[in-house]
Amino acid sequence: MEAEEHLQSHSEKKLNMTDLVEVYKQKLESEPDNMVFLLNLGVAYTALNKLDEASESFTKILEQDPQNLEALNNLGIIYTQTGKFEEAISKFEILVRLNPNNAKYWNNLSEVHRRTGNYHKSNTCRMRAIQLIEGKK
């Protein structure tokens, strides 16, 4: 959440995503391992549809913290969007193991299984997501 809030605060200042990329690249020059800056850079690249650059940012985070939920999820989404379904499944399976009560992660795993034609697994994951959502009501 911290990264999203930080990114949002810049958005409120009317910086566009291209400007944000430059801001975070400059910040990373002095703090190259700052995961908040890396995450925000990846999110900005994703918004600009620069998915290779976004993947690189999220991968750098995972090199430091292999269980970083936001980086895993964002990378899984990019892999799904670019047709790298096995890689996406791998990231989402890690996510549901790390945080089995997160409906969003189960839903994302369901979607990638649907795209690969594995409708049984897709439905199983989707049902788990629905159970989690219903349980919160």
2-99: which CATH topology? 1.25.40
For the chain, give every domain's residue range.
2-99
In this prediction the pTM is 0.85
Placement of tokens 């994302």 in the chain: 108
pLDDT, averaged across the chain = 91
Residue 52 has pLDDT above 80, yes or no: yes
Q: What is the C-alpha to C-alpha distance for residues 66 and 18, in angstroms, rounded to an integer?
A: 28
Q: Check whether 10 has a pLDDT greater than 60.
A: no
Q: Which two tokens stand for residue 132?
A: 């989690």
User: How many whole angstroms separate alpha carbon 31 and alpha carbon 50?
Assistant: 22
Strand, helix or coil at 102?
coil
